[in-house]
Amino acid sequence: MGGYSTGKRDRSIPLERMGIALVVLALCLAGIAIIFGAGIVSAGDQLAVIAPADNEIDAEPGEEFEVDVLMRSRGGHGGTGVAEFTLVAQYHPDYLEITSVEGANWLEQGTETDVVEEHLLAHEAGTVILEQRRDPVDGGATGDARVATLTVRVAEDAPPSEASIDFGDSSVILENDLPLAILDQAVTVSIDDGEEPVDSFDHPDPEDRETLEAAVTAADESGGEDGEDDEGVAEPIPGFRAADALIAVGFVGVIGFGLLAVGRWRRT
């Protein structure tokens, strides 16, 4: 009898220990998930998200369309708002042309102030730049809204292909002169149902204004002073789903409790 009892205990104790270990692991993972999730949210507060309202567009050669560009930012630490931004849109000039850029009222959010705007269209360089700044800054701006509308024309002789408009070189500056990290999304333009990506294009540095201005073929054709006052509606920005992590943690916890229960049942 003694040997039988000892054998039974040997089988049950490892199960109990395994169950306890999994429960402890689940609790640790839950804590990490909560901390990590909070960290992601906190980090998300310190960036600017720049994305088109529609990131996939189908167009034919010679067709003209508009792209609404949205920005989302909660500013920096302590509620520091955005003082200025530079929207840089880059594309391949053999396939697309941004014929005009119209600034919106993103920086008008917050305390009422004046907004100064400048823009540059350098088609030969495949680059369009829109700059806006608050004057005076007076706390800066935060929120979700449209920052610009681009008017884009597809080249008449563009073959079936897939071109893009990228915003990765854009910048956003806070009231304290610190830059925000940028999370951007490009516009993909399918020309004549094409799926083959166009060749890369060597864009000049957006900071090299001398080179860009030399590439301007029709400076300030769009005027740049007839912007609208309506606000764009930003689409939800995907973020870290803490719920997914907690589901996995719960699964581990259930297994742990199950093994713990089986171990105790075997010992009875």
The tens digit of pLDDT for each residue in 126-166 reads: 999 999 999 999 999 999 999 999 999 999 999 999 999 99
Helix (H, G, I), strand (E, B) or coil at 148: strand
Residues 6+ apart with CB under 8 A from 260: 15, 16, 19, 20, 23
Band of residue 46 on the pLDDT scale cut at 50, 70, 90: confident
Residues 6+ apart with CB under 8 A from 267: 8, 9, 12, 13, 16
Cα 75 from chain centroid? 14
Q: In 94-233, which residue ranges form alpha helices assigned H by DSSP?
A: 209-214
Band of residue 4 on the pLDDT scale cut at 50, 70, 90: very low
Task: Give the span between the Cα atoms of 133 and 182, in whole angstroms.
Answer: 17
Average confidence score pLDDT of the chain: 79
Q: What is the pLDDT at residue 216?
A: 82
| Among 29, 181, 152, residue whose Cα is nearest residue 92 | 152
Residues 6+ apart with CB under 8 A from 124: 93, 215, 216, 217
Task: Give the span between the Cα atoms of 136 and 151, in whole angstroms.
Answer: 30
